[in-house]
Amino acid sequence: MIEVHLYGKLRRFTGNQDASSASIARVGWESKDTVGSIVDRLGIPHDELGSNKFLNGRYATLESPVQDGDRLGLFPDDMQLLYKWYFAPQDKAGTPSQGSRAPNQDSEAPMSSNEDEK
């Protein structure tokens, strides 16, 4: 069994529109399943996902294989900005890819303190 957590506008695929409660679908596992095959079984159009897919808390692609007992988190394409801030693609050494950055990474302004104002 795969536990699929749906967020934002993807909640409608579980019939739950209540943002205060979890929208979780449980999908039977088959040996050759991928994130994409699970998404297809739920009837979610791939273009609504963008790149917001997490398998057991790690970034995943539609081609990522899934195993029985895995947890899949799917975010809609309109929630992509925050995802890119905090889960930027990384190279094999764990370094953020060129063009990705964390929030306020480019901010060079020093923080003011009360002592400076005296």
pLDDT tens across the length of the chain (118 residues): 999 999 888 999 988 777 777 889 999 999 999 999 999 999 999 999 978 899 998 989 999 999 999 999 999 988 865 555 555 555 555 555 554 444 444 444 344 344 444 4
Query: What's the pLDDT score for residue 38?
Result: 98
Is there a domain that residue 23 lies in? Answer: yes
Is there a domain that residue 113 lies in? Answer: no
Q: Could you tell me the CATH number of the domain that includes residue 31?
A: 3.10.20.30
Cα-to-chain-centroid distance, residue 85: 11
Is there a domain that residue 116 lies in? Answer: no
In angstroms, the CA 7 to CA 30 distance is: 24
Is there a domain that residue 95 lies in? Answer: no
In angstroms, the CA 77 to CA 73 distance is: 13
Is there a domain that residue 53 lies in? Answer: yes
The token pair that represents 106 in the structure block: 């480019």
Query: What's the pLDDT score for residue 19?
Result: 72
Query: Whose CA is closest to 7, among 75, 61, 83?
Result: 75
Query: What's the pLDDT score for residue 118?
Result: 42
Is there a domain that residue 102 lies in? Answer: no
Cα-to-chain-centroid distance, residue 48: 12
Domain that holds residue 20: 2-86
Query: What's the pLDDT score for residue 84?
Result: 55
Is there a domain that residue 47 lies in? Answer: yes
> Which residue shows structure tokens 């094999």?
92
Query: What's the pLDDT score for residue 97?
Result: 52
> For the chain, what is the domain count?
1
Query: What's the pLDDT score for residue 16?
Result: 77
Q: What are phi and psi of 71, to 5 degrees?
A: -120, 125
Is there a domain that residue 44 lies in? Answer: yes
> 3-state DSSP call for residue 75?
coil
